[in-house]
Amino acid sequence: MLTQRVQAILQSVNHLRPIPSNVTRILKELENPKVSLGMIAEYIGLDQALAALVLQMANSAALGYGRSCTSLNDAVVRIGVKRLKSLLLASVAVDSMNRQLSGYRLGAGELWNHSVGTAVTAEWVARALAYPDPEEAYVAGLLHDIGKLLLDQYVLSDYSQIILYVQKYNQPLWQVEEKLIGIDHARVGGLITQRWGFPAVLIEAISFHHYPSAAHAKPVLPAIVNLANYLTIKVQGSRQGLFCDVIHPDTYTILSVDDVRLERFQQRILDVLGVSAS
């Protein structure tokens, strides 16, 4: 039997607004082989917020671009079709991911910065492990913590108990959420992306990024996100808020990664994310 709080969370998911029609229209146009990137840039330009997001991403230091990009046309070409699809899928949540999350002790922009870092890291890990669709890993990494947006108020009300379990009893955050709230942020994130009609492989990757062997279809993708989340926290030093910096034991087996390879990955991610080792 579901607790009242879990029922309230499920209701919140059901009341989320769908992906805006202008975003679904652009996603549909991107599947049209006859559409030009110039036309796509025009469609994006009709939405001020979307245009700003595309320009922001095209100038992201995490993507390794040197010179600044001020034209929407140039931004679309620079990002590319696959990355643009990922960004469009994420666009509905960007404003919320940039806000302060008091329960998780995250300031404005901190969740988004961690998410972008995890996305970039997940894509790099996917390429290093010859995963067939690195862009899939990117979008799963970008949205892996989206469930925190709905759980934040519940974490806030249980904060002292959550900290007790995380710090004193050394339990991973997601397990503490499940114990005290009745559902963890990863599963809530999966429900949100299911509501938005995401592909099943992405829903599973987000739902099980802390417990990848629970994924039925493709455990490799949630394992990549699990590893990328860990590496991003280690490299960026994201200790200011509540994050789960634990690699699930099954991740090592699923990805055939050992401690030596993990150390090499961490050194490379320092360069990928442009973080000083000092």
The pLDDT value recorded for residue 131 is 96
Q: How far apart are CA 57 and CA 103, in angstroms?
A: 27
pLDDT of 34 strictly over 90: no
The residue written with tokens 């989340």 in the block is: 229
Burial group, residue 95, by CB count within 10 angstroms (0-12, 13-18, 19+) = exposed
The pLDDT value recorded for residue 179 is 92
pLDDT of 5 strictly over 50: yes
- Cβ(228)–Cβ(247) under 8 Å? no
- DSSP per position, 12-69: HHHTSPPPPHHHHHHHHHHT-TT--HHHHHHHHHTSHHHHHHHHHHHT-GGGT--S--
The pLDDT value recorded for residue 31 is 87
The residue written with tokens 């973080």 in the block is: 275
pLDDT interval class at 70 (50, 70, 90): confident
The pLDDT value recorded for residue 278 is 44
Q: How far apart are CA 80 and CA 115, in angstroms?
A: 20
pLDDT interval class at 57 (50, 70, 90): confident
> pLDDT for 104-152, tens place per residue?
999 998 999 899 899 999 999 999 999 999 989 999 999 999 999 999 9
pLDDT of 65 strictly over 60: no
The pLDDT value recorded for residue 240 is 62
> pLDDT for 191-210, tens place per residue?
999 998 888 999 999 999 99
**Residue 80 φ/ψ region, left for φ over 0, alpha for ψ in the -120 to 50 degree band, beta for the rest:** left
pLDDT of 9 strictly over 70: yes
